[in-house]
Amino acid sequence: MRRLRVLLLKEWRESLRNKMVVFGVVLLPLFLVGISVYMIALGEGIGDPTASIVMFNTSLMYFLLLPTIIPLAIAVYSIVGEKDQTTLEPLLATPISDLELFLGKALASVIPAVVVNWLSFGLFLAATRVVVGAVPLQALTAPWLASIFGLSPLLALFSVGVTMLVSSRASDARAAYQFSSFAILPGLVPLIIYSSQQTLVDLRLVVAEGAVLIVLCVVILYLAIRVFRREQILTRWK
Amino acid sequence: MIETRGLTRRFGPRVAVDGLDLDVARGEVFGFLGPNGAGKTTTIRMLAALIAPTGGSATVAGHRLGEANREIRRRVGVLTETPGLYRRLSARDNLLFFARLYPVQEPERQVERYLKMFELWDRKDEPAGSFSKGMRQKLAIARALLHEPEILFLDEPTAGLDPEAAKTVRDLIETLRSKDRTIFLCTHNLDEADRLCDRIGLFRTRMLAVGDPVALREEMYGRRTVVHLASPSPGIEQTLDLPFVKKVERLDDRLIVSLADPDAENPALVRRLVELGADVRFVNELRVSLEDLYLDLMEGRDAKA
């Protein structure tokens, strides 16, 4: 646990000094929150109550998108960055275990993704209240809350697993970023369902999606753990 | 400290290290020499418990490879071929990270000690990416030493360093030797190996020769005395009739005489040459460079021939 904490702190310290990561973790959520609030304000301006609820629902989807996007930048630069700086071998020469290394890299991306997503959601609600005067609570249903708080950690985990697998085979951060973005599309299925059938967002659907995501996460993490072995890293990674 | 028996590593059909038998004692500086692609880095990676051998066995710092890998990694320090530093982190943060991973008692104090030792303390808060090549190498060496390892694997430690920094590293190796640390040194700098190493191993997939650099030369080339003559003295090499002289060659105004024990036989040799009418200007021992030995062995030449 001590080594895991040391690795996590190093990862975050390094990420904070990387402009690309800071953009992905800080600016992108702020931008999406701003867009969302602007859309809701537009909906209010139309004067039709359904319009503002539709806008609110659409905005909520961003908070299922963010947990998949935020960890991309962190995980890509965390792994491809190590390769680029040739720091993997000195790191592997320490007593850190393969599992600690894997968990350190994974959690360094998942934790900020989930925390930033929830903070952004809080900021979105507060900004909506300030701009529109009230949060449309009738649209903020239990399935939505379950999605944002229950599914987002799973989405982040899935995204990180895919990114770690892709990054292990890539030597260029941009290429890894692009491939990972494509590979996480299956994780966005809930978003696609919600956007096409907003009225059908119910708890059963959320639970079903959660179950599918858990299976996907187990598969992806199993594969990623197999790739995150010293021997593999030193002899197979590009 | 390091003991290997038949240590082998294959990558598919390719054999990178073939049946390495090696013993390195505590406090010894062992030079591991060989061309690029000879399998030196693979050997270090196996001995540092980073990759597993596909055959043979090894004991490192008293622990068997494959059975106590984490313990081995705790007791060895590795300087990799490239410095491998986190460029965005400061020199101090780079070292603190590794100090805490090992773990080191009082990491802050230890980091300060090594940064001062390598004259990097004044730039401790600057990102490692802004450092010169020499400074990065010094920082990487400091990182390998932070946890006071019993065995230090150094892969090209002075590569890219200016003469002053290279001397600092060599002095450090001498200091570590005096503190009973075992050093496994991979280098292409044969002069450095000659000066620093107690023994050297010439390696290309398998060990070609191992031993004390001086003894290895003697074993390969024998001992030879060079007699510098003041006048040509034609034909004197044919008349030299001493029983202990193995072979005499002439090279301009020099005679190169192969002897079994020059320390004992040189006085009699000089006396006899003077008796034969030679004007001896001075006498010295022919020293074959480690480079000659290395090239002969790598090219598979019979040095004595």
Q: What percent of chain A has pLDDT over 90?
A: 21
- CA A203, CA B302: separation in Å to the nearest integer? 82
Residues of B in contact with A96 (CB under 8 A): 101
- CA A81, CA A42: separation in Å to the nearest integer? 42
pTM of the model: 0.81
Any B CB within 8 A of A48 CB: no
Residue B55 host element (H or E): strand B55-60
Judge whether B257 and B269 are in contact, CB under 8 Å.
yes
Judge whether B227 and B270 are in contact, CB under 8 Å.
yes
**B68-81 pLDDT, tens per residue?**
999 999 999 999 98
Any B CB within 8 A of A20 CB: no
Write down the pLDDT at residue A128: 87
Residue A174 makes CB contacts below 8 A (sequence gap 6+) with: none
Write down the pLDDT at residue B126: 94
The chain-wide mean pLDDT, for chain A, equals 84
Interchain proximity A90–B80, CB inside 8 Å: yes
Chain A: closest CA distance from residue B305 (Å): 41
Interchain proximity A90–B76, CB inside 8 Å: no
Tokens representing B282 are: 């001075």
Residues of A in contact with B85 (CB under 8 A): 85, 87
pLDDT classification of B301: cutoffs 50, 70, 90:
low
**Among the listed residues A189, A186, A152, the one whose alpha carbon sits nearest the alpha carbon of residue A70:** A152
**A101-145 pLDDT, tens per residue?**
889 999 999 999 999 999 999 999 999 888 878 777 777 788 888
* Secondary structure class of B61 (helix, strand, coil): coil
Chain B: closest CA distance from residue A124 (Å): 33
Chain A: closest CA distance from residue B293 (Å): 32
Residue B90 pairs with which residues in a beta bridge? B127
Write down the pLDDT at residue A238: 62
Write down the pLDDT at residue A82: 83
Chain B: closest CA distance from residue A96 (Å): 7
Cα angle for residues A15, A21, A24 (degrees, 5° grid): 145
Any idea what DSSP says for residue B300?
Answer: T
* Secondary structure class of B184 (helix, strand, coil): strand
Cα angle for residues B229, B234, B238 (degrees, 5° grid): 100
B13 pLDDT higher than 60: yes
Interchain proximity B89–A17, CB inside 8 Å: yes
- CA A80, CA B216: separation in Å to the nearest integer? 45
B-side interface with A, Cβ within 8 Å? 11, 45, 48, 50-52, 70-71, 73-74, 76-78, 80, 82-89, 93, 97-98, 100-103, 127, 140, 143-144
B30 pLDDT higher than 90: yes
Residues of A in contact with B98 (CB under 8 A): 90, 94
Residues of B in contact with A8 (CB under 8 A): none
Tokens representing B164 are: 């002053």
How many helices (DSSP H) and strands (DSSP E) are in chain B? 11, 14
Chain A: closest CA distance from residue B55 (Å): 15
Chain B: closest CA distance from residue A192 (Å): 38
**A165-207 pLDDT, tens per residue?**
888 877 777 777 777 777 677 667 767 776 665 555 678 888 8
Residues of B in contact with A1 (CB under 8 A): none
Interchain proximity B100–A230, CB inside 8 Å: no
- CA A158, CA B282: separation in Å to the nearest integer? 80
Write down the pLDDT at residue A200: 57
Write down the pLDDT at residue B58: 94
- CA B154, CA B121: separation in Å to the nearest integer? 23
* Secondary structure class of B79 (helix, strand, coil): strand
- CA A48, CA B268: separation in Å to the nearest integer? 119
- CA A119, CA A228: separation in Å to the nearest integer? 31
Strands B206-211 and B199-204 turn out to be: antiparallel
Pure H helices in B11-125: 40-47, 69-75, 91-101, 107-117
Write down the pLDDT at residue A196: 67
Interchain proximity A89–B78, CB inside 8 Å: yes
Interchain proximity B88–A17, CB inside 8 Å: yes
- CA A202, CA B221: separation in Å to the nearest integer? 87
**Among the listed residues B125, B120, B122, the one whose alpha carbon sits nearest the alpha carbon of residue B139:** B120
The chain-wide mean pLDDT, for chain B, equals 87
Cα angle for residues B260, B263, B264 (degrees, 5° grid): 80
The residue of B71, B88, B108 whose CB has the most chain A CBs within 10 angstroms, and thus the best one to mutate to test that interface, is B88
**Among the listed residues B130, B136, B96, the one whose alpha carbon sits nearest the alpha carbon of residue B112:** B96
Which of residues B234 and B42 earns the better pLDDT score?
Answer: B42
Residues of A in contact with B127 (CB under 8 A): 17
Write down the pLDDT at residue B305: 44
Write the DSSP assignment of A92-156 as a string of letters. Answer: HTSS--HHHHHHHHHHHHHHHHHHHHHHHHHHHHHHHHHHHSS--TTTS-HHHHHIIIIIHHHHH
Cα angle for residues A212, A214, A218 (degrees, 5° grid): 120
Instruction: Find where tokens 């609820």 sit.
Output: A53
Any B CB within 8 A of A229 CB: no
**B71-117 pLDDT, tens per residue?**
999 999 999 988 899 999 999 999 999 999 997 889 999 999 999 98
Interchain proximity A86–B98, CB inside 8 Å: no
Instruction: Find where tokens 């197979």 sit.
Output: A236
Tokens representing A187 are: 């994780």
Tokens representing A154 are: 């799973």
Averaged pLDDT, A147-153? 89
From the list A7, A13, A93, the residue facing B73 with the nearest CB is A93
Judge whether B20 and B206 are in contact, CB under 8 Å.
yes
Chain B: closest CA distance from residue A82 (Å): 8
Judge whether B5 and B57 are in contact, CB under 8 Å.
yes
**B135-193 pLDDT, tens per residue?**
888 899 999 999 999 999 999 888 777 888 788 888 888 888 888 889 999 988 888 88
Preceding amide of B267 cis, omega within 30: no
